[in-house]
Every structure is written in structure tokens, then in C-alpha cells.
Amino acid sequence: MSLVAVECCVEIMNNYIFVLSSLFLVGCLGLALKPSPIYGGLGLIVSGFVGCLMVLGFGGSFLGLIVFLIYLGGMLVVFGYTTAIATEEYPETWGSN
């Protein structure tokens, strides 16, 4: 493999990690700044899915799959239970203040 090809692969991987880290940060901010539990669950799903993609990017395919199935599955059960109890007819959104 030539040096140019290696540099190209490193640049692609750096961009991949940067984009995934940015999406992970957006998901975490969406979870922390939630106006309603429904939108907090959306932030949790986004950050969990992107976190699993980051693990897959580093070569941990089985670990990423297990985290996705068990962690997000359990969190979605808790999220569904919470939203069923705390349902609002008109939930507050991020831009409704």
C-alpha cells in the first residue's frame, strides 16, 4: 500500500470519527436539554445509536451489536413506560419557549 493511500484512509477515518462524535454530542445535548420526555428519548436513541456506530468503527462489531440490542432495548422499555405515564396532549418542544 502506498503512502498516499494510507494518508487517504487516515483522513477518511478522522472525518468518520469527527462526524460521529458531533452527532453523539448533539444526541447528548438533546437528552440533557429535553423539554418533554418524548424528545429526551429521541436524544437517547440518537446518542446510543451513534455510540454503537463509533464502537463498530473501531472494530468491535459484536460489542456494538450487544450494546445496541441490550442497552437500547432496555432503555426503550423504560422510555415507553415513562411516556405512557407522563403523556401530555400538547408536549412542549425545543422551540416553543
Which long-range contacts (C-beta less than 8 Å, at least 24 apart) are formed by 10-14? 13/57
| Backbone dihedral region for residue 87 (phi beyond 0: left; psi -120 to 50: alpha; all else: beta) | beta
pLDDT tens for each residue of 35-56:
677 777 777 778 888 888 888 8
pTM metric for this prediction: 0.62
Domain definitions of the chain by residue range: 3-85
Tens-digit pLDDT profile for residues 60-93: 777 777 777 787 788 778 777 777 777 666 666 6
Q: How far apart are CA 35 and CA 15, in angstroms?
A: 31
